[in-house]
Amino acid sequence: MADCPKCPPVGAPMWLTTFADLMSLLMCFFILLLSMASMDVVKFKAAADSLQHAFGVQRQIEVVQIPMGNSVIEQHFSPGQVQPTPLDEIRQSTEDEKENAKEQFIQDKLSEIKVEAEKIKQQLNTEIEQGLVTVETNGFRIVIRISETGSFDSASAILQPGFEPVMDKITQTVTESQGKVVVAGHTDDMPIKTLTYRSNWELSASRAVTVAQYMLEKKQIDPNRFLIEGHADTHPLAPNESPENRAKNRRVEIIIARDEALLQDKLGYSKSIQTDQLTR
């Protein structure tokens, strides 16, 4: 049978043998690499997951927020600046002026109270040097503090003889002042129980009444200005741990409360001022 010139030669082409040998060698090479390599399982799993999400079908879709329709309005824009109207500017200016006026009003009143306190200190300078009286300010209040020394005997609410000149000076300062007059009695923590006073509450209140009654009888002061308080040992100036501290705590305080007068001020700014709480 003669060879057909158009038919391909019998058997595989010569280059296929070389190609097959090359593929076999490459497969053996990669098998050797895989067998000798130390595989990081974590990295391999991460790479596999990454390829799976990149080339595979994603079965779970993480939803961060509820899908919403797209708006036809442009979302990326710069908000325009709102220009204040003349009415807004006038209103803001008025508020600033009120605030400044209120602050100035408060500062003026505090300065006025400090000047008045200094005047009282000068009038009672001798008594202050003798340790019978102290004068200080606390916000809108002037505190005239009468110590027990020279004013009252122990467990007594009767003024000692010879203390009247001191009370006369104090009464004169109260008469010339303005505002509410709070007379508060204080004792130490030593309990008492006598035929006259069952407790320190009665003693402190009685001493306050004695001081207030003296001022009311001596001068024509409006009784509506007075407020009597008895605090016993509930507001000590110092811890009741020594005789000296207990002596400080036994006192009667005459408080000229100017904050009460401020509430009636015609300017009206004082309505927004918080009333100071006296620290005893």
Closest to 132 measured CA to CA, from 172, 162, 177, 176? 162
Domain ranges within the chain, ordered by starting residue: 101-272
Going by C-beta distance under 8 Å and a sequence separation of 6 or more, which residues neighbour residue 28? none
- For residue range 39-50, list pLDDT tens digits in order: 666 776 777 777
Is the pTM higher than 0.85? The answer reads: no
Mean pLDDT of the chain: 79
Average pLDDT of 118-134? 91
Read off the pLDDT band of 249 (50, 70, 90).
very high
- CATH number of the domain located at residue range(s) 101-272 in this protein: 3.30.1330.60
What is the pLDDT, as a whole number, of residue 70?
A: 59
